Amino acid sequence: MGTEKLRGIVIGERIKGESNKQLVVLAKGLGRVLLSARGAKNAKSKLLAATQLFCYADFVVYTGKGFTSVTQAELLHSFYGPRTDMEKLAEAVYLAELVERTCPEGMEQNAVLELLYYAFLVMEKGTLPPKLISRIFELKLLQLSGLFAPEACAVCERAEGPLYFDGRPGAFFCPDHRTKESRLVSEAVRQAFAFVLEREGRQVFGFQLSPEALEQLGVILREYMDVHMGLRLKSRDFFA
């Protein structure tokens, strides 16, 4: 119990009653935390500006018996940009939901927080297609979660030469071990994998992809997440 400061991004908000909000915040050093923000829906509330979805902010919180409530909030970055464009908004909502669903409560997730911050920043700047930002985010999140090893044949671990992907086991195969249903992974998609897996922080968002390669990357990652994360969110492919 007591007062403390925390810094993080609002990844979820639920309205509670007339004017209260419950916030889901991915916080530095703390991971996913639930905060109640009393009166935050009021137009005159001093908490209004910093308690919106996607806001990156410093919060002063008070923890009592079974609750943590926001007493002060200072906005650092609103990430208002993604709200003004339907496609960006859909992808930002998806990323926030993906983080909320995959990050366990109260477990430090600083690398994910940093990744989300840069994903929103790049989305706001508009230098990459929103869908590509989401695919890069998914791949890095899988890697950070220990669920994506560099792609190699699931049977013999060979990584050179052509690779095929089969969505049902969610695995890659060499030409000798490929399954009937597996499809060849394009060179552009393999380069995208390598680019993201070998880089950290903002650098992962440093390349473009053709629409065809982006399409294949999207299908592979969806099937991969289905199998290895057991997760398929409706907010993904909102505009597919």
Binding site for Zn ion (CB under 5 A): 153, 155-156, 158, 174, 177
* Nearest distance, CB of residue 161 and Zn ion, angstroms: 9
The answer to whether 61 touches 6, Cβ cutoff 8 Å, is: yes
For residue 200, give every residue at least 6 positions away whose Cβ sits within 8 Å of its Cβ, in sequence order, or none.
none
Q: Which is nearer to Zn ion, 18 or 160 (CB)?
A: 160
Angstrom distance (rounded) from CA 14 to CA 21: 6
Residue 103's Cβ-side half-sphere holds a number of Cα atoms within 13 Å equal to 33
Of 123, 152, 119, the C-alpha closest to 136 is 119
* Nearest distance, CB of residue 164 and Zn ion, angstroms: 10
* Nearest distance, CB of residue 185 and Zn ion, angstroms: 14
Angstrom distance (rounded) from CA 98 to CA 90: 12
* Nearest distance, CB of residue 181 and Zn ion, angstroms: 16
Q: Which is nearer to Zn ion, 90 or 171 (CB)?
A: 171
Which residue has the closest beta carbon to Zn ion?
153
* Nearest distance, CB of residue 180 and Zn ion, angstroms: 15
For residue 115, give every residue at least 6 positions away whose Cβ sits within 8 Å of its Cβ, in sequence order, or none.
137, 140, 141, 144, 201, 204
* Nearest distance, CB of residue 171 and Zn ion, angstroms: 10
Angstrom distance (rounded) from CA 152 to CA 132: 23
Q: Which is nearer to Zn ion, 47 or 174 (CB)?
A: 174
* Nearest distance, CB of residue 226 and Zn ion, angstroms: 23
Q: Which is nearer to Zn ion, 73 or 174 (CB)?
A: 174
Angstrom distance (rounded) from CA 70 to CA 59: 6
Q: Which is nearer to Zn ion, 94 or 172 (CB)?
A: 172
Instruction: Give, in order, the Cα–Cα distances in Å from 53 to each of 8, 14, 15, 114, 158.
Output: 11, 10, 12, 17, 44
Which helix or strand (DSSP H or E) is residue 95 part of?
A: helix 86-102
Q: Which is nearer to Zn ion, 156 or 184 (CB)?
A: 156
Q: Which is nearer to Zn ion, 11 or 171 (CB)?
A: 171
The answer to whether 178 touches 185, Cβ cutoff 8 Å, is: no
